[in-house]
Amino acid sequence: MTPTNRISWKDVRDEIHEAILTGRYGPGDRLPRDADIAVQLNCARSTVQRAMQDLTDSGLVERRRKGGTRVRPDPVTRATFDIPVTRREIEQKGGRYGYQLIHSAEKDAPRGVLAACEISSPCRMQQIEALHLSDGQPYILEDRWVSFETVPEIRDLDLTRQSANEWLVTNKPYSRCDLRFYAISADDRTAELLNTVPGAALFVIERTTWLDAAPITTVKAITTPGYHLLTTI
């Protein structure tokens, strides 16, 4: 490659980003030195530094003096909203986190799930229903479907011990995230699980994430009355 064909900092960023998304570098892994990346990609070290700064700002990597650059333990790619780890959200508010797995099974994905994931043909996915608690009280009811194509590990995870929410945020960075916010009236079962009354107005956060064109997961997070959403853009 001649100097006139050297790649830009955005090319370097995309190269490293792709390596993280595909798992070549996992959470906590140390990346090569800037100088080594510059040699490998035939670009200036300053180009690599600019790319690393963007990845740092995006929340994918963290840089420390004399400590090098590492993939964040909880890497995210930012849209206008970072996917929260519900445990941390509760603890940051001063609450004591609790978690209950209600149901987990491999099922044929219903039409609504297929549509959310932009899948045109029938397929099986893992359905996971779980309840997050704050100080022993219901906080968020999660109805999640996970793709086996992008997350084959879901079959082997012990979801009684760790929520799919936290495992996916930590282990499956996404390249695209679609968000919907809306309200529903609690049916009898949802009201019982969230310890509220049937017909109560409940705020719903619906998220679907992809790795390139392949869906990772789609989830409806149904919150208790009085839930507050705060995000910094």
CA-wise closest residue to 162 among 87, 233, 50: 87
- Residuewise pLDDT in 10s, the chain (233 residues): 344 456 888 889 888 888 887 778 888 899 999 999 999 999 999 899 989 888 887 778 888 877 789 988 765 544 334 577 899 889 988 999 999 999 999 999 999 999 999 999 999 999 999 999 999 999 999 999 999 999 999 999 999 998 999 999 888 878 788 899 999 999 999 999 999 999 999 999 999 998 878 999 999 999 999 887 765 44
State the pTM of this model: 0.68
Can you list the alpha helix ranges (DSSP code H) found in the chain? Answer: 9-21, 34-41, 45-57, 86-92, 111-116, 164-171, 188-193
Q: How far apart are alpha carbons 198 and 51 in whole angstroms?
A: 51
Asked if 187 and 171 touch (Cβ cutoff 8 Å), the reply is no
Output the pLDDT for position 173.
78
Beginning with the edge strand found earlier in the chain, give each strand of the sheet holding 97-108 in spatial order. Answer: 97-108, 124-134, 137-147, 214-223, 201-211, 176-185
Q: How far apart are alpha carbons 114 and 107 in whole angstroms?
A: 12
Output the pLDDT for position 26.
84
Give the CATH architecture of domain 3-71: Orthogonal Bundle (1.10)
Sequence spans of domains, the chain: 3-71, 86-223
Which residues, in sequence order, are bridge partners of residue 140? 132, 223
**How many C-beta atoms lie closer than 10 Å to residue 179's C-beta?**
13
* CATH fold group of domain 86-223: Chorismate lyase (3.40.1410)
Angle at 136 between CA 131 and CA 138, to 5 degrees: 40
Output the pLDDT for position 78.
46
SS3 percent helix, strand, coil of the chain, rounded to 5, is: 30, 30, 40
Asked if 147 and 125 touch (Cβ cutoff 8 Å), the reply is yes
